[in-house]
Amino acid sequence: MEKMKEWKEIEKLLINVDMVNGFVKKGAMADSYIEHIVPEHIKLMEHMQKEGEAIAIIKDTHKKNCREFNRYPAHCVEGTEEAELIEELKPFEKDAFVYQKNSTSTVYAPDFLGNIDKMINLKEIIIIGCCTDICILNLAIPLQNYFDQKDREIKITIPKNAVETYEGPNHKREKYNEMAFKFMEQAGIHLVENLAI
C-alpha cells in the first residue's frame, strides 16, 4: 500500500468506520438513512487527501459463525458484498490504511494500535462513520483510554454531521445518538457539529 506520508510525518488521521454495504445498503443490519452522511464523508476524505494527511478505512468483516452473532443478526460476512465498502467511497480505499474488524471495536483490529504507535507526531484523530452508539463509541473511548495510558496528547474529534446510527424497533436513532454523544463527551472526546474546512 502506498502511504500518503511517512509514519513519522502524519499529524492528522481520519478514520472512516464501517461504511460498508451491510450497514448502509443491504442486509439485516442495514439502514439506508445512513447514506445521508456520505457527501460529508467524501468532502472530508477529499480534504485529507489534498492536505496529504492519512485516512484509515474500517470494514466490519466477520467469519460465518463469529461470536458477535450471538447478540446481533448475521452481517458483513467475509467474502460477501455486505463486507465491502460502499461504492461511493471505494475510490479512497487504494490510498488508505484498511483494517478489517471482527468485533465492535476497531482498537482490536490487527495492526491498528501498532500503526497508531508508529505515528509519533500524530496530533489529531477525526472519527466518522456508523454506528454512533456501537462502533464509533467503541473506538473513540477505548482509543482515548489508550492515549491516557501512553500519556499521548492526541485530540479525538467527532463531527456530529458525519456519524449516524440505525433505526429499529428497540433502537431509536435520535435517542442512541444523543446517548453516545454524552458518553463520548464525558470521556473527553471533542464533539463538533461539523468540521469547518
pLDDT at 10: 96
Q: What is the pTM of this model?
A: 0.95
Q: Is 79 helix (H, G, I), strand (E, B) or coil?
A: coil
pLDDT at 197: 79
Q: 10-residue block means of pLDDT along the chain (197 residues)?
A: 72 98 96 98 97 96 95 95 98 96 97 97 98 98 98 98 95 97 98 92
CA distance 171 to 178: 12
pLDDT at 4: 57
CA distance 143 to 166: 23
Asked if residues 81 and 30 have their Cβ atoms less than 8 Å apart, the reply is no
Residue 61: closest CA among 94, 20, 93 = 20
Asked if residues 25 and 86 have their Cβ atoms less than 8 Å apart, the reply is yes
Return the CATH architecture of domain 7-192: 3-Layer(aba) Sandwich (3.40)
